[in-house]
Each structure stands twice: as structure tokens, then as C-alpha cells.
Amino acid sequence: LHCTSMSSLSVPPPQCLLQPFTVPHRYLFGPGPSNVPPRISTAGAQPMLGHLHAETIEIMDHIKSGIQYAFQTQNRMTLAVSGPGHAAMECAIFNTVESGESVLIAVHGIWGERAAEMAERIAKYKPVLFFLTHGESSTGVLHPIDGIGELCHKYDCLFLVDSVAALGGAPIYMDKQGIDILYTGSQKVLNAPPGTAPISFSERACHKIFNRKTKPVSYFLDLSWLANYWGCDGKPVRSYHHTGPITGLYSLRESLAILAETGLENSWKQHKDVAEYFHMGLEKMGLKLFVQDKKARLPTVTTIVAPPGYEWREITGYIMKNHNIEISGGLGPSLGMVLRVGLMGCNSTKAHVDMILQALADALKHCHKSKV
């Protein structure tokens, strides 16, 4: 019989894995992820530890303090979800909302600062949770937060804020502004790799969450487990729930350390100054900004009206091919209408702005302009 000489494997080793793969260096000036500075890459390359080793727990405690600083909160229930910003969003909603309860979501464009309209809707729908995006990266809008927390609490509603695209780049004060749940992602202003998502819950939110009649739909994102894993529940022992992204936690700790060294206010100022410098440069080139009201512009992600007569995909493709720079088109409501440029954390510098303006000018010179 020949069977023995024939391999019992029906799937051979893939050829593509038998040669090395070199990742190119690119300037990531899209809406995220952003470039990871060497200090954070180095931190992430440290030796692996067990996820409940004393040093890992110490790193997690440092991360909690760093998030409390970045969020400007004293909340004990502060941690990082193992996953991207979407995981934190689900963690916030799954833990807070039970079947049959309603949630009110602000869709930018119709809301502005119309508190009366908000109050009307909160009174009408009696939601347990009101969701607002602080920095809307698809449109480049920075939403005002002041006064909304009080309004929500007046109607016994929790206030949930997504600050994935804005945190560290635009002012936010979780406790002072009455925010009940706040989350962000690691890959934007914090310049860490995607995969960890800082989140914090107020006492008011915890009261609702820990007095539920039913269990949250997700075991992985169940806050009673996560609270124990992150040492937020005051219990002496942390029990096994899941294996956290250990090297991702090294990186997150380092990114929060950089923010602490820089200082929040300095970081906010840097993003504002660089964005204003960029906006002036764009206007000088004859390009128009999508968000007309200067106060409503998100300092981390700028939306530029797609230059008329050009195919936006050709512009982004040209800039990637000839300048090694990623900028992106619109998303959702802004698809086909804008170009989006992200300048976050270490990428938020005037030298980078000059580089982008030069690349845009070059693209406008070389890309096809339709005769129509």
C-alpha cells in the first residue's frame, strides 16, 4: 500500500506564509488608526506576562489612573475593554439597557444646541439612555456637551458620550459635565494600536447596571465580570474572565503616560492650533471646509469639501501612491462629499500639515479635472 508515503494532510502549507512580509511605512493621516510613535511600539514589544501576574495588575491600575486623568473623572468603575471602540460602545449599551427600554440617539445635523428639542424628545420617549457623539469623525463636527448631563438627569436618563475621535484632542470633563458613561479608543489621539478601549461609568450608571432584572446579553462585556477583572469592585481577588490583550495594555499604559507628561490642556491646545493652521492653509489653496462654523470644527479630523470637478478616489489614491500618505473620503452621510484628514497625537504637527498641503496641491495639479 502506498498510503503511508502519501501525506495525510489535504491542505498544504500556504506559499504566501513561506516568505517574509514587509510592512511599508506610511503617514496615517486618515480618521484613524494613527501612527504609533517608537516609544509606544517599544513598550508593546516588552516580554509577555501572564494576564493576572502582579506586574500586569499594576499596569492595569496605572491604566485606570491614566483614564481617570484623561476623562477628568473620579469614577471607581474605570477600565479598558479588550477590543476596539465598538466593543466599548456595546459594553456601554448592553450593560445599561434591558429589553423593552428605549434609547435616544442624537444624529448630528438636526440637533445642534437645541436643548428644547432634546428635552421634548426625552420627555416623549422616556429613554433610559441618551447617546451623543462628542467628535463626529464622519462629518468633522465637535458637539457641545455642556448642560446636556443636567437635562438628562432631570428626566432620569443616563448620559452616554462617545469620544473615540476627540478624546485628548478636544476638552471634555466627565464629572463636571455630568457624563454617566464615556468611552474612547486607543488608536486615535492616544496613538496606541487598536484593540483596547478606555471606558468609565458614573455611580448613577452603576446603580442602574447593578440593579438589572436580567443579565446583559454579552458575557464577554458583562460589567460585573469586567469590574472584578479590573479591580473596580473592591473584592480582594481578581478571578479569571478572559485573557486581556497584555501587550496592548503595555502600549495603552505608555500612551496614557505620554498624555500625562504632555498635560491634557497642552494636548488640547496643540490639536486646536495645528487644526487652525491647517484650515488656514486649505483656505489659502482655495479649498473649502465642510464645517462652516469654526466653533463646531473637530480639531482631530478635518473634513474638506471634495474639490468640484475631481473624482475624490483619484485624489486619495494619488496621494497614497506618490506621497505615501493616507487621507480618506467621506463615510456614511458624508460619502462622496468630503475628504477627511486626521491629525491626532504625534501626527498633530505643523510640519505634517505642510506635507499634506503640498501633497494636496500636487494631486490637484495631476488628477483629472472633468470638463463638465
Distance CA 268, CA 250 (A): 24
Distance CA 184, CA 17 (A): 35
297 annotated among ligand-binding-site residues: no
Distance CA 222, CA 210 (A): 11
Nearest to 94 by CA among 187, 225, 195: 225
Q: What is the DSSP string of 178-237?
A: T-SEEE--SSSTT-PPSSEEEEEE-HHHHHHHTT-SS--S-STT-HHHHHHHTT-S--S-
Distance CA 157, CA 179 (A): 11
Residues 6 or more apart whose Cβ sits within 8 Å of residue 256:
62, 63, 66, 67, 69, 70, 190
Residue 81 backbone dihedrals phi, psi, to 5 degrees: -75, 140
Q: What is the DSSP string of 277-324?
A: HHHHHHHHTT--BS--SGGGB-SSEEEEEPPTTS-HHHHHHHHHHHH-
Distance CA 132, CA 148 (A): 10
Radius of gyration of the chain (CA): 23
3 state DSSP class of 254:
helix
CB 82 within 8 A of CB 76: no
Report the half-sphere exposure of 350 (CA within 13 A, side-chain side).
6
DSSP E strand stretches across 13-90: 27-28, 77-82
Distance, first Cα to last Cα, the chain: 74
Q: What is the DSSP letter of 119?
A: H
Nearest to 372 by CA among 316, 310, 285: 310
Nearest to 310 by CA among 291, 279, 336: 336
Positions at the binding site: 340
Positions at the binding site for substrate: 340
